[in-house]
Structure 1
């Protein structure tokens, strides 16, 4: 079970490791259960915990007081100190999870997610259900430990839907016009999605399958070149979730396919003599080559020579074999030909 601080930038930008899938992201509250002014917020916040607030004239009121080690007189002594931040909040959540694990050793990340979604670990703050500031609410150690006490006593877990998004971050490249977002139920009970919306008129959401799949479409018409940030909001019967959306607008450019670089070619003639040549990619992956042949060519090997050992079609190198006997049979002597080697299988 991995817990991480949501960050102290007063921002909804993606912050790692809290934004990784499977990580419990923790924002900070002050002593009045209000959002700490420095705390990050957004779709990666799963719950909140006390983290203090920006320093006032009395640090004991604004900060989290805890034990710490201090260097003094050439040694380390036990001391107390005051600190603020989502780091202070996250360690409190980690401590509560440790208590829960001690009571119920079978506790898993999936079970923690279900307990969070059901409200069995937190006091709900802000809008009802999950939101981007407090997540599922502020940690409550008594409720959290009592919930696993009941599980340890054999009480069944109540049906509760759990929102599982296919991604926590959408990045649509300049070559794409859309992205797919799936909203799945990782728990029990019925999950109802009442709305999936963007924040701007250039973002449109089409429902593909009710309560499950949604196509996020972009309309870049009229937008200036640059990087754009938006959010997709998902409203469900368990709360409100959001997914950051990033996309770019660039000038239209003429694209060309990439090539595989220089290749080595060997031509076999009817007299079993191999002629060798190197070729560079031309337009659209066409490679031009010229061989001096005394008799009709029958077979052409073309491939990359990664280890520069002079061998073509060696193990773990890309290679293609072309049988060219009839096609080039009349071209005895110095002749230029074109071969398209867009695809080369990997030799085992």
Structure 2
């Protein structure tokens, strides 16, 4: 396999608050392969967006990186001067933000906003930049691009505004694209179109994508690999088939059980009991222990290492230790397995 395009190694980030230091990201390690879509999933507050904000070096002022590195093409972005970072952002590294209305300047015409990265990073003349902007507008599905080039953001629907944000992110053909819950505020039909668009553009441009979401149903249709995040840590990672067919961490199983499908019967949907831990005083062991009905004594005492399930699949749970009792975590997932099998088969056929 080609060299990883991005490596996050043992990343730890604290937030200074009036209540104390919040240990928001704790020893996170991730790799992004060229041309793949890596889904970063977990509940709100698990640390997904903070992790990727460190990649873009867009952390808020009260955040501090206390350990680790973020390597892009052999250089640590955390140690890079701001001037060099500015050359990368919007050029080789790009992000699609969750809310397009906050990502777009309401006073600037959309065509000018899409052209801006080309003028700044690639120093193109305005005529060439305008043509490139029109091309990408058409590619992301904005009908009558020439007529709409001089419109303002408020003149577009939510789905069209998100397409404009995607056009801005992709205009310079970035090597790494971060999509931070880009479909959260959209209806199901538009959501499906945006997901298909991201996959299409990934295939055409060979861009590597980190796709952030709390919705495992979305992941089944777009990801190549999945990393499951909880309380500032990665608890499990593997291929999309590994995670959906053979989940190993109780938290991953809980997420799958709480994800609705179209063919579910009443009462099939389960919720995860309890609340995430307080990260001002994070637990010494598995952060999910207090919500895990199968927790062992050691889960409260020591953070488990990653146990190898297969060459592509690893999970940090003491239940995989050879000394642990046998627990059947996935006995109620058969219906969902079939649902995801159908979806993955459908997606695979569509890509052939």
TM bucket (normalised to shorter chain) is: under 0.3
Q: Which has the larger radius of gyration?
A: 1
TM normalised by structure 1 equals: 0.26
The structure, 1 or 2, with the larger RCO (C-alpha pairs under 8 Å, 6+ apart) is 2
TM normalised by structure 2 equals: 0.25
More helix by share: 2
